[in-house]
Chains A and B, each alone.
Chain A
Amino acid sequence: MIALLVRDLRLAMRAGGGFGLGLAFFLIVVTLVPFGVGPQSELLARIASGILWLGALLACLLSLDRILALDWEDGSLDLLATAPLPMEAIVSIKALAHWLTTGLPLVLFAPVFGLLLSLPEPGYMPLVLSLLLGTPALSVIGTFGAALTVGLKRGGLLLSLLVLPLYVPTLIFGAEMARRGVEGLDITTPLLMLAGITCGTIALLPFASAAVLKVNLR
């Protein structure tokens, strides 16, 4: 299992810096927002937490199809399927690798980008915490979507259409938590809900992803 994780991580690094792409996309979104809504810092401060969450979500979405597509094309997914590892473990590892290469860098750099959007002082901790809690769910859900569309030639757009509605609860609680942090309100409720969603998806969704992948490999 560890070997698979290491292999995935190494491949992601080699393929044009898996770390870099999502992050660069995130940066571009953050740069474009002031062009769209104007540079007034009060306005930016109000929407910063939401924009950061949306940017993280989109950056995540963008890299989803690479979770499984490459392994599908060169046939290593078939090999993995015959390996002694259960399929549930494989998809979990894939999701973990995706999170480490996309989710985690986003979390780490979110404060810097928050600076660009003049995120108010008390908002930083809740924002980072909410992203840290929420992005694993995004990766796991995304792996499910990637498993659904892996056999399709032009799955990219369909993948977004399938995955985005599934992201709604995570986004709502994550952004709500960040917003409450900015306004100095109590963040316990959204924090617990967000953590619950993440734990639930991590525990249950790999079974669905594995079932879907088995169907696609049939």
Chain B
Amino acid sequence: MMPDLGKYAEAVLSSYGVSIALLVVLVWASLRRARRVKKQLEDIESKAKRDG
């Protein structure tokens, strides 16, 4: 299953690891902020509607 990476296994694996981790963090942060801001806006809009 795992390809034989030879003596450079560390370099290849760590660069994949670092990059994928960074991408995941970026996506996660974007999603989290998107969700939070969306909810906040909806709260305010519904409140504004209620108040007239």
Tell me if chains A and B make direct contact, with any CB pair below 8 A: no
Chain B residues with CB under 8 Å of chain A are none
